[in-house]
Amino acid sequence: MNADLLLAKINRELEMISQTQHRLARQKALLQEQATRLRLGASPLAVSVALREGAALEPGDLRASGITWAAADRFDLAHS
């Protein structure tokens, strides 16, 4: 493997890491904002909707958490 090929692979990996960090920073900001809203008395339903909308705006964000939000909604509906 020559140095140019290896350098290109390293640069691609660095770019992927940078994109992941950026996506996670946006996700963290969204979650922190919604946690603050909950602490200040916002409706859990409104926060759940905001989280879904935030995830819809950023493909891939909150992807794994979507299952959690859906399960929480079913719990809320069943216990309302």
Domain boundaries, the chain: 3-78
Q: Rounded to a whole number, what is the largest CA-CA distance in the chain?
A: 64
**Can you give the pLDDT at residue 67?**
45
Question: What global pTM score does this model have?
Answer: 0.66
Q: For residues 75 and 10, what is the distance between their CA atoms, to the nearest angstrom?
A: 45
Tens-level pLDDT at each residue, the chain (80 residues): 799 999 999 999 999 999 999 999 999 999 999 999 999 999 999 999 999 998 887 655 555 455 455 545 555 555 54
Q: In this predicted structure, what is the pLDDT of residue 31?
A: 96
